């Protein structure tokens, strides 16, 4: 019996280590965090080709003007400037966040605030007008880890 309890405790410890972080819904209208697949501007997966570069994030479908939510309890670490190109000014905003032991950025979001704490499911801001810069694209929030590692396993 004692051995059984010890085995159970060990199993639970292993399960808690393996029980990875999962992003909750990021965008209104997309409760399952559906991913951008492929459109005339490219693919949304991590590692997709972007000319001579590689795509260093994962794109989650989000309509222009939609509400963007905290995927878990997060601390806001300031805004992000996405582009240097002034022609992309309309979507040149994002936010740097941390939570669940992760540091990550969300691109193409106009944040309500850039400091403090936001609870899971509460609003972070508004999806910017991506169609005005990339007509015909699948509008999306770009999720990028601060260390540029692959975020796909968290979805
Ligand atoms: Zn992207």
> Separation of 106 CA from ligand 1 center, angstroms?
9
Question: What does the pLDDT read at residue 147?
Answer: 98
Indicate whether 11 belongs to any domain: no
CA distances from 50 to 57, 72, 146 (A): 11, 30, 19
Indicate whether 6 belongs to any domain: no
- pLDDT greater than 90 at residue 13: no
Indicate whether 54 belongs to any domain: yes
> Separation of 2 CA from ligand 1 center, angstroms?
51
Q: How much of the chain, in percent, has pLDDT values that exceed 70? A: 88
Do residues 36 and 130 make contact, with C-beta atoms less than 8 angstroms apart? Answer: no
Indicate whether 149 belongs to any domain: yes
For 66-91, the pLDDT digits (tens) are: 999 999 999 999 999 998 899 999 99
Question: What does the pLDDT read at residue 12?
Answer: 53
Question: What does the pLDDT read at residue 10?
Answer: 58
CATH number of the domain that residue 39 is part of:
2.70.70.10
Q: How much of the chain, in percent, has pLDDT values that exceed 90? A: 85
Indicate whether 52 belongs to any domain: yes
Indicate whether 141 belongs to any domain: yes
- pLDDT greater than 80 at residue 114: yes
Q: Is 131 strand, coil or helix?
A: helix
Indicate whether 15 belongs to any domain: no
* DSSP secondary structure, 24-53, as one string: ---BTTBTT-PBP-EETTEE-STT-EETTE
- Mean of all residue pLDDT scores within the chain: 92
Domain encompassing residue 84: 22-154
Provide the whole-model pTM: 0.88
Count of domains forming the chain: 1
Indicate whether 49 belongs to any domain: yes
Question: What does the pLDDT read at residue 84?
Answer: 86
> Separation of 48 CA from ligand 1 center, angstroms?
9
> Separation of 21 CA from ligand 1 center, angstroms?
20
């Amino acid at each position: 019996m004692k051995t059984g309890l010890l085995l159970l405790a060990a199993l639970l410890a292993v399960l808690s280590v393996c029980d990875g972080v999962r992003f909750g819904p990021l965008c209104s209208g997309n409760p399952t965090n559906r991913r951008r697949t492929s459109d005339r501007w490219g693919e949304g997966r991590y590692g997709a080709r972007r000319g001579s570069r590689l795509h260093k994030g994962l794109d989650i479908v989000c309509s222009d003007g939609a509400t963007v939510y905290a995927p878990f309890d997060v601390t806001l670490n300031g805004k992000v400037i996405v582009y240097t190109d002034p022609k992309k000014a309309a979507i040149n905003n994002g936010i740097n966040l941390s939570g669940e032991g992760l540091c990550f950025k969300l691109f193409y979001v106009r944040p309500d605030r850039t400091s403090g704490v936001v609870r899971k499911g509460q609003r972070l801001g508004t999806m910017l007008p991506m169609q005005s810069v990339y007509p015909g694209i699948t509008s999306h929030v770009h999720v990028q880890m601060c260390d540029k590692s692959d975020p796909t396993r968290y979805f």
